[in-house]
Amino acid sequence: MQIVWHGHSIIEIITANETNILIDPFITGNDLTDLKIADCHPDYILVTHAHYDHIGDTIEIAKKTGAQVIAITDLAAYLGEQGVTAEGLNFGGSYQTDFGKFKLVPAWHTAALPVGDEAPRTLGVAAGFEMHIDGKVLYNSGDTALFSDMKLINHGKGVDVAFLPIGDHFTMGIEDAVIAADFVKAKHVLPIHFNTFPAIKQNPTEYLEQLEDGVGISVAIGESFEI
């Protein structure tokens, strides 16, 4: 499969049968992404949690493309109210596909969104995704702190690629994300969720150098890699 990092937490996955999966499409207001709404053609949109830098342009893209959105139940209910085709999962539950499945897994983080002029509305809690695609296992932790139950991802059997935030301030920083890579036994790690805002400024090279040789994936925004 082909994996493209579009900056921040935006991941695009193209499976062997050309299914397009888009995660956390935060385009409007994201000065660093290469992605344009017009260029998005997802079959699935996975949203980790109800913060604006993760929901992003999900509603507009899903309405335009008819993509199936998958998120935690409370967030999926909200997205459904906005006219989007959304399937709600809760922790431990999976959505089956012809190429594998998406399993919703815990994260330690909050999840609230300003709706209109109202105070921010809590829409479930933050989550991650364990994705089984074309016989490989990918883990997107979403925004999270380090927590020891990461050792349970894929039943402790390791993952082919982990997408882990390193930005600090709102999530794990570099030091904790090094330990997270170890906890999930990642063969490869793509650091995400850094440099988009001043508060999450980090040097990804500093992170990649602390991983075991060959584990870290270094791609520029808009670049892809194959696994």
What residues line the site for Mn ion (CB under 5 A)? 53, 143
The continuous run of DSSP H or E covering 21 comes out as strand 20-23
174 to 5, 191, 193, 208, 211: CA distances (angstroms)? 19, 9, 11, 9, 10
Interface map 41-80 toward Ni ion (x if CB under 5 A): ----------x-----------------------------
Q: Using DSSP, state whether 172 is helix, strand or coil.
A: coil
Nearer to Mn ion, 68 or 144 (CB): 144
From 19-27, 36-44, 56-64, 137-145, give the range in contact with Ni ion by CB under 5 A.
137-145
Which CB atom, from 66 or from 114, has the smaller least distance to Ni ion? Answer: 114
CA distance 167 to 196: 9
Partner that binds at residue 57, options Mn ion, Ni ion, none, CB closer than 5 to 8 Å by kind: none
Q: Which one among 12, 24, 57, 143 touches Ni ion, defined by CB under 5 A?
A: 143
Q: How far apart, in whole angstroms, are the C-alpha atoms of residue 190 and residue 164?
A: 6
Q: Which stretch binds Ni ion (CB under 5 A): 72-80, 116-124, 135-143, 185-193?
A: 135-143
Amino acid at position 1, single letter? M
Q: How far is the CB of 175 from Ni ion (least distance, A)?
A: 19
- Measured between alpha carbons, how far is 173 from 166 in angstroms, rounded to an integer? 4
List the single partner that 8 binds among Ni ion, Mn ion, none, CB under 5 to 8 Å by kind.
none
